[in-house]
Amino acid sequence: MAAARTAASAARSPGAPAAAAAARTRRPPSARPARLPPLLVLLAAAAGPGAGGAARLYRAGEDAVWVLDSGSVRGATANSSAAWLVQFYSSWCGHCIGYAPTWRALAADVRGPYPLALWRCSASAAAGLHPGFIPRMTPPAPVEIWEVGCQVRMTGTPLPPPPSLSWGHRGLPRLSSPPDPLVESLKASATTSAPGLYPSCVLTFISSSVTPPGCLESRFFEAPVPVPGCFPYWAAAIRVAALDCAEEKNQEVCRAYDIHFYPTFRYFKAFTKDFTTGENFKGPDRELQTVRRTMINFLQNHTDGNRPPACPSLDPIRPSDVLSLIDKRGDRYVAVLLEDDSSYVGREVILDLIPYESIEVRRALGSDTAFLQKLGVPSLPSCYLIYPNGSHGPVTVGKPLRSFFSSYLRSLPGVRKKPGSLPGRPSRDESSEAVVWRDFDRSKLYTADLESGLHHLLRVELAAHRSLAGAELKTLKDFITVLAKLFPGRPPVRKLLEMLQEWLASLPLDRIPYDAVLDLVNNKMRISGIFLTNHIKWVGCQGSRPELRGYSCSLWKLFHTLTVGAGTHPKALDGTGLEDDPQAVLQTIRRYVHVFFGCKECGEHFEEMAKESIDSVKTPDQAILWLWKKHNLVNSRLAGHPSEDPKFPKVPWPSPDLCPACHEEIKGLGTWNEGQVLLFLKQHYGRDNLVDTHSADLGGPGEGAPAPGEKQEGSQAPPEQPPADHGAESLRPPSLLPPRAHLSERSQPGLDLLLGSRAGGEGRRGAEAAAAFLGMGFSSLDMSLCVVLYVASSLFLMVMYFFFRVRSKRWKVKHHHPSV
Ligand SMILES: Cc1cc2nc3c(=O)[nH]c(=O)nc-3n(C[C@H](O)[C@H](O)[C@H](O)COP(=O)(O)OP(=O)(O)OC[C@H]3O[C@@H](n4cnc5c(N)ncnc54)[C@H](O)[C@@H]3O)c2cc1C
């Protein structure tokens, strides 16, 4: 009934018309405390890698994607023998979440020519390799057994491979009834490989279409010790990687690579000696096939000198070269893929066969009909095979597709994997922590969410911009002004924002380095009473999985508190230049989203909505309602999207149980009562509804500083920051710092000096290091002030000196005059 009402109201509402259908099938979220079912909490806690802060969308060792981070990206891409395609993403960005399956599929696709499935079968090696097992698992559809190996996972502890791991059975095409020798060999191995020690077995098959009976799972899974057959195929030439810029430890590196929006795709050529930010990939679309083809083009853009050594030539050979190969005997097969100019099949098959020896794959263009007739090739693409014994002829495959050609060539007698030629992979990420669920009340607003979001905004999102000038700087100034005047959080944070605003407002410069902003945010001057947590702790913005909700949820909440703040405190913006404009807060938010919000597509959608209707806003109350309506439009657009948290379905908000008065029926149709919605929004996003429970590290009410050794989720000190600068001390609550004077009046000249030295770039770091060394704990501001005072007192002494000199001369002249 409630759901039906929500749906009807959504249908009538200008704010959320399209959400009606979604709401029909969804139960509105309850206003009661949000608890996850105990089983989900347990599952979340046991989720293992990726459940915590690290590698949230891609999991090292589980996905075929290479998971890079600040510590590995430079080493991996610099002077590498393979090229790289790296996706710089943000784990909170909805578009990145939506794109992740494609990226995983791409990585898996170039890792092996078929989706490889590794099935963990049965509880013991003995059972898993029971001679009857293979016949039993013969599925109705033919399955080709590619490699069979026994590998072990016992409560997550890697064990050495069993002695019999060396079996590899391949070249058994279309196994409809397993040959006896295979079963016999498995049986023999099972008995020799200590079944008690090695309790589970990994079997690698081509084709993942059918799950063998008795198997526990059918998904990509990497054994702790590599199993033959699950090495990447193209990886010796080009690798597909991802790096999460939402992780604080990666922020510096994302800045160094000039990443402003997510996802950003960059290619890195092989053997690049000097540091490079890579080449942008902005293809017409980012579908798997388009990206795979662009990877091939990119490989072809290498010169002969820097082409990855494992990558065979991808250029076509001439018909005359093909003819000269025929009738020649050799020690290997030569396969020639004949295709037309626009086809990629030949190059894909060449790359698929990289790890194999005793075969060479080339491609030739089949534009010459006489040539094709001579070879007896009726259509394109086709494969012409020259055997080691010199015989030759066209190959017959079921369909002229990459997978058919590759499979056929790999299963030729004598074609084997090259021993030890394949690269290792980054190991499984074991560093992540379990998620701890915090119960919360959906009718409340949590300080922890707003302040965690602000921390991410100021220290991570802005950090994508090395320096700020022009429209960017103006946007930042206005946004910080709005925050300083309207942010409803705790006094230390409000003070920090005020200081930042005053500083930005009085800046004479038209370009500032981001690091100067960061110094203020980190309170390097150690002004007491100023502090912003450097931890992320989501409460009302928790997601049931680590990649869901979080920052983007907190940003929406922050924006709503700002429009509500302007509506309920009409004088708050007086004297800022933003007063008297009912759209001022909305327009500032709009510009922030456009310029700084890392999710580019989100920003573009928001801009479209703003262009359409923001001009209709004539009062602060209308601004509150405008943002509410647009947020509901976004909700309805994203209902069912992969970034939707199933525990927090995207339904028109506020739901009837959160605000019964907001919903009413007119002639049987549910609709919004906008007057009530406005009242509700003012109450919900007002200061009085803010709850400090779970607020960390603020030195005020709430939980206070974490217990020693307690690790907060997402907490990482920014890299490359010496402890004296951004380390624990400067980020400690003010109450824990040594008492220092309030510097609001005297801070300005010092900050300008600091900035002046920053404008010189890296020299600043050196200056700071020197300051730390000489100043025994004095900040660079302290040192700057000393210099200012020193120069001022010298000037004063010089002025006094000249003053007295002139006076004494006059005095002498006066007293000697009569005698002249
Ligand atoms: C400006 C902006 C544009 C975005 N555009 C996109 C996009 O184009 N594509 C994409 O995939 N993701 C986009 N996102 C992210 C997306 O909107 C969500 O933030 C994300 O999916 C997390 O959803 P959530 O469940 O936490 O709820 P959110 O939508 O983030 O909402 C956070 C909280 O706000 C409250 N709330 C919900 N609706 C309203 C409302 N109408 N008025 C007031 N309060 C409300 C609820 O308490 C909710 O839990 C955007 C985010 C922002 C800030």
Cis, peptide link before residue 513, omega less than 30° from 0: no
Token representation of residue 416: 């084997």
Q: Whose CA is nearest to atom 33 of ligand 1?
A: 553
User: Which of 450, 454, 551, 552 has most ligand 1 atoms within 8 Å of CB, for mutation?
Assistant: 552
Cis, peptide link before residue 263, omega less than 30° from 0: yes
User: Which of 441, 556, 588, 657 has most ligand 1 atoms within 8 Å of CB, for mutation?
Assistant: 556
pLDDT band at 575 (very low <50, low <70, confident <90, very high): very high
Please give the distance, rounded to the nearest whole angstrom, from the Cα atom of residue 552 to the centre of ligand 1. Answer: 6
pLDDT band at 696 (very low <50, low <70, confident <90, very high): low
542 alpha carbon, distance to own chain's centre: 17
If 0-12 CB within 10 Å is exposed, 13-18 middle and 19+ buried, where does residue 787 land?
exposed
Q: Do the Cβ atoms of 333 and 291 come closer than 8 Å?
A: no
If 0-12 CB within 10 Å is exposed, 13-18 middle and 19+ buried, where does residue 258 land?
middle
Q: Do the Cβ atoms of 794 and 801 come closer than 8 Å?
A: no
Same fold: 66-111+233-300 with 319-399: yes
Sequence spans of domains, the chain: 66-111+233-300, 116-219, 319-399, 439-642+673-691, 745-820
Q: Do the Cβ atoms of 595 and 471 come closer than 8 Å?
A: yes
Distances (CA, A) of 523 to 245, 479, 696, 722: 24, 19, 17, 15
643 lines ligand 1 (CB under 6 A): yes
Q: What pLDDT does 565 receive?
A: 97
- The answer, yes or no, to whether residue 179 has pLDDT greater than 80, is no
189 lines ligand 1 (CB under 6 A): no
pLDDT, one tens digit per residue, over 505-520 is 988 888 999 999 999 9
602 lines ligand 1 (CB under 6 A): yes
pTM of the predicted model, to two decimals?
A: 0.64
Q: What pLDDT does 488 receive?
A: 94
Token representation of residue 80: 């590498």
Q: What's the whole-number average pLDDT of the chain? A: 72
Report the 10 Å Cβ neighbour count for 814: 9
- The answer, yes or no, to whether residue 67 has pLDDT greater than 50, is yes
Token representation of residue 610: 């703003």
Q: Do the Cβ atoms of 499 and 539 come closer than 8 Å?
A: no
pLDDT band at 402 (very low <50, low <70, confident <90, very high): confident
Q: Do the Cβ atoms of 144 and 175 come closer than 8 Å?
A: yes
Please give the distance, rounded to the nearest whole angstrom, from the Cα atom of residue 630 to the centre of ligand 1. Answer: 10
544 lines ligand 1 (CB under 6 A): no
User: Which of 262, 454, 596, 634 has most ligand 1 atoms within 8 Å of CB, for mutation?
Assistant: 634
Q: Helix 345-352 crosses helix 288-300 at what angle (to 10 degrees)?
A: 80
Q: Residue 58: name the closest of 227, 231, 247, 229 by CA.
A: 247
Place of tokens 């929500």: 6
Residue range 348-367: mean pLDDT, rounded: 91
pLDDT band at 802 (very low <50, low <70, confident <90, very high): confident
Cis, peptide link before residue 654, omega less than 30° from 0: yes
- C-alpha 85/C-alpha 309 separation (Å) is 17
- C-alpha 406/C-alpha 381 separation (Å) is 13
Distances (CA, A) of 655 to 16, 292, 398, 672: 12, 44, 56, 11
Q: What pLDDT does 230 receive?
A: 36
* 3-state SS, one letter per residue, for 726-742: HCHHHHCCHHHCCCCCC
- C-alpha 197/C-alpha 111 separation (Å) is 30
The SS3 call for residue 533 is coil
Place of tokens 């388009």: 290
Token representation of residue 613: 């209707």
590 lines ligand 1 (CB under 6 A): no
pLDDT, one tens digit per residue, over 521-539 is 999 888 888 999 888 899 9
- C-alpha 658/C-alpha 656 separation (Å) is 5
> Which sequence positions are flagged as catalytic?
93, 96
pLDDT band at 62 (very low <50, low <70, confident <90, very high): low
Q: How does 729-748 read in b/e, with b if 16+ C-beta sit within 10 Å?
A: ebbbbbeebeeeeebeeebe
Token representation of residue 161: 């491979």
Of 417 and 797, the structure prediction assigns the larger pLDDT to: 797
Beta strands in 742-802, from DSSP E residues, in sequence order = none
DSSP state, 457?
I
- The answer, yes or no, to whether residue 44 has pLDDT greater than 80, is no
Q: Do the Cβ atoms of 338 and 381 come closer than 8 Å?
A: yes
| DSSP letters for 278-295 | -EE---S---HHHHHHHH
pLDDT, one tens digit per residue, over 642-677 is 888 888 988 899 999 999 999 998 887 889 999 999
Q: Do the Cβ atoms of 530 and 495 come closer than 8 Å?
A: yes
Q: Which residues pair with 33 in a beta bridge?
A: 441
Please give the distance, rounded to the nearest whole angstrom, from the Cα atom of residue 644 to the centre of ligand 1. Answer: 9
521 lines ligand 1 (CB under 6 A): no
Of 810 and 198, the structure prediction assigns the larger pLDDT to: 810
Q: Do the Cβ atoms of 663 and 656 come closer than 8 Å?
A: yes
Q: Do the Cβ atoms of 152 and 162 come closer than 8 Å?
A: yes
Please give the distance, rounded to the nearest whole angstrom, from the Cα atom of residue 549 to the centre of ligand 1. Answer: 8
Place of tokens 């309030």: 742
pLDDT, one tens digit per residue, over 92-119 is 898 899 899 899 888 877 764 333 333 3
Of 35 and 269, the structure prediction assigns the larger pLDDT to: 269
pLDDT, one tens digit per residue, over 587-642 is 999 999 999 998 888 999 999 999 999 999 999 999 999 999 999 999 999 988 88
Index of the ligand 1 atom closest to the CA of residue 605:
8
One-letter amino acid of 746 = R
- C-alpha 1/C-alpha 670 separation (Å) is 11
Q: What pLDDT does 124 receive?
A: 37
Q: What is the CATH number of domain 66-111+233-300?
A: 3.40.30.10
Q: Do the Cβ atoms of 222 and 61 come closer than 8 Å?
A: yes
Index of the ligand 1 atom closest to the CA of residue 559:
53
Of 684 and 331, the structure prediction assigns the larger pLDDT to: 684
641 lines ligand 1 (CB under 6 A): yes
Q: What pLDDT does 702 receive?
A: 41
User: Which of 1.20.120.310, 3.90.226.10, 2.60.40.790, 3.10.20.30 is the CATH number of 439-642+673-691?
Assistant: 1.20.120.310
- The answer, yes or no, to whether residue 139 has pLDDT greater than 60, is no
pLDDT, one tens digit per residue, over 467-479 is 999 999 999 999 9
Please give the distance, rounded to the nearest whole angstrom, from the Cα atom of residue 440 to the centre of ligand 1. Answer: 18
Q: Helix 620-638 crosses helix 674-684 at what angle (to 10 degrees)?
A: 90
Index of the ligand 1 atom closest to the CA of residue 16:
41
Token representation of residue 148: 């069979």
Q: What pLDDT does 775 receive?
A: 37
Residue 361 φ/ψ, nearest 5 degrees: -115, 130
Of 729 and 620, the structure prediction assigns the larger pLDDT to: 620
CA torsion through residues 670, 675, 676, 677, sign = positive
573 lines ligand 1 (CB under 6 A): no
Q: What pLDDT does 162 receive?
A: 35
- C-alpha 347/C-alpha 83 separation (Å) is 16
The SS3 call for residue 507 is coil
Distances (CA, A) of 617 to 131, 344, 556, 625, 672: 75, 53, 19, 9, 19
Q: Residue 168: name the closest of 392, 356, 435 by CA.
A: 356
Q: Do the Cβ atoms of 516 and 503 come closer than 8 Å?
A: no
632 lines ligand 1 (CB under 6 A): yes
Q: How far apart are the first and last CA of the chain?
A: 115
Please give the distance, rounded to the nearest whole angstrom, from the Cα atom of residue 601 to the centre of ligand 1. Answer: 14
560 alpha carbon, distance to own chain's centre: 25
610 lines ligand 1 (CB under 6 A): no
Please give the distance, rounded to the nearest whole angstrom, from the Cα atom of residue 629 to the centre of ligand 1. Answer: 12
Domain 319-399 has CATH 1.10.10.1200: no
Q: Residue 295: name the closest of 269, 316, 320, 277 by CA.
A: 269
Q: Residue 346: name the closest of 328, 360, 331 by CA.
A: 360
- C-alpha 393/C-alpha 375 separation (Å) is 7
Q: Helix 470-486 crosses helix 491-505 at what angle (to 10 degrees)?
A: 140
If 0-12 CB within 10 Å is exposed, 13-18 middle and 19+ buried, where does residue 291 land?
buried
If 0-12 CB within 10 Å is exposed, 13-18 middle and 19+ buried, where does residue 581 land?
middle
Please give the distance, rounded to the nearest whole angstrom, from the Cα atom of residue 585 to the centre of ligand 1. Answer: 18
Q: What angle do CA 50, 555, 454 make, to 5 degrees?
A: 85
